[in-house]
Structure 1
């Protein structure tokens, strides 16, 4: 009784080479180790403090070709301690940025002005990004 047929015997070296190749590739893959620090117990959904917002440009009264700040408002109330970041980009390059931390709640629909340190010509940027960081919550 033959366990391997004639065709199987011819395929054995090829199969062995395939197995050795796969083992070589498997051993060549770097291991990725992840160390996670436990931040708290349980789980909860983290909600953004703002869902939608509006940005209005504040132009220089002496030269309306220059932007001196923005007024931002949101559809939800932002809690005191939140920080609003505004960034102006030209393509992928950051032109300028400014931020403001709320000392009191900002009611939904209310605007808050965020001024830049220097005027920015409106031709120097093509994108505005607004980031809202919620307040730090103490346990």
Structure 2
């Protein structure tokens, strides 16, 4: 990927997303932080995003609700869910709903950075591939 990875951070813990945003910026990523699901959905309607890092437990609209809406409206956005609670049922539900990954807080920054890059790389690869039934360029 030659362009900077655009990351949307969605978490009601302002200190966490502020610090994470700065660290991702030092890695050359463009990070935008919002504190809730409605803000995230509004931003996605206005701006392109490659990867969303989304907290599961938030007031008003939880991460699973946001994931379902994002995948319905913007299926090209890869979503990595974060939670402070290890819940295998929630993880399975998230993966079935289209999440790229499900990580437990406190998350190791190196691991999260690696998973964000993998998600963006996967998105880029899919964009280069023809849809089923289409022919690849040059064929």
TM-score, normalised by the number of residues in structure 1: 0.24
> Which has the larger helix fraction?
2
